[in-house]
């Protein structure tokens, strides 16, 4: 195994990292640990990965096939998308303690292809709004200037990518919910 520090590894693109996984240059567990370190480093400032599930990702890393499409790549999942056993709030106090029993088919398909869910990313209440803020988790801050907002509604996803917390982050878009945070971040 190559010796990579967290920031060096986190700066690589998803395509580069998947290639490294397939060649055995880095293991899924090493990526989970690098991602966990990066999340711990940046979360106090940005509030993007609001529900980490590192232990779940560690367990999944032991079972992932290096021949799968994503080969053990850690990802973020927007807090509008249910993941079994992981708190899913939809950004609203009404669901602040909701833990779904079933995983959304999109995430099931990603996991079947080797994705490792590192955690849930922040979103406005029910994904409605041009700024990522809600009463459960508060504001996600812009990674380049934390006095500014990250856009919405996939602001947590965009910030998790811009800060190198994960290499791929799932979001959704109806009226600019991906495009606005991408531009802001």
Look up residue 126 and give its two tokens.
């029910």
Residue 153 appears among annotated catalytic residues: yes
Q: Is there a contact between 120 and 127 (Cβ–Cβ < 8 Å)?
A: no
Residue 27 appears among annotated catalytic residues: no
3-state SS assignment for residue 121? strand
The catalytic residue among 35, 68, 160, 177 is 177
Calpha distance 42→124 (Å, rounded): 20
The catalytic residue among 35, 68, 153, 169 is 153
Q: Is there a contact between 87 and 122 (Cβ–Cβ < 8 Å)?
A: no
Burial class (CB in 10 A: 0-12, 13-18, 19+), 41: middle
The catalytic residue among 78, 120, 154, 169 is 78
Residue 13 appears among annotated catalytic residues: no
At residue 69's C-alpha, the angle toward residues 158 and 123, to 5°, is 20
Rounded to the nearest angstrom, the gap between the alpha carbon of residue 16 and the centroid of all alpha carbons in its chain is 18
- Catalytic residue annotation: 78, 153, 177
């Amino acid at each position: 195994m190559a010796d990579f520090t967290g920031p060096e590894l986190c700066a690589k693109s998803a395509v580069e990292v998947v290639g490294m996984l397939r060649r055995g240059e880095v293991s899924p567990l090493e990526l989970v640990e690098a991602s966990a370190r990066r999340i711990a480093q940046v979360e106090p400032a940005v509030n993007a990965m609001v529900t980490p599930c590192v232990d779940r990702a560690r367990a999944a890393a032991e079972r992932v096939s290096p021949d799968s499409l994503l080969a053990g790549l850690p990802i973020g999942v927007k807090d509008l998308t249910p993941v079994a056993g992981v708190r899913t709030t939809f950004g609203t106090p009404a669901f602040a303690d909701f833990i779904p029993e079933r995983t959304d088919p999109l995430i099931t398909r990603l996991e079947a292809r080797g994705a490792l869910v590192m955690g849930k990313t922040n979103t406005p209440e029910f994904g409605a709004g041009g700024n990522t803020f809600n009463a459960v988790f508060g504001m996600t801050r812009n990674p380049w200037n934390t006095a500014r907002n990250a856009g919405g509604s996939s602001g947590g996803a965009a910030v998790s990518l811009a800060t190198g917390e994960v290499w791929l982050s799932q979001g959704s878009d109806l009226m600019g919910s991906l495009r606005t945070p991408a531009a802001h971040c």
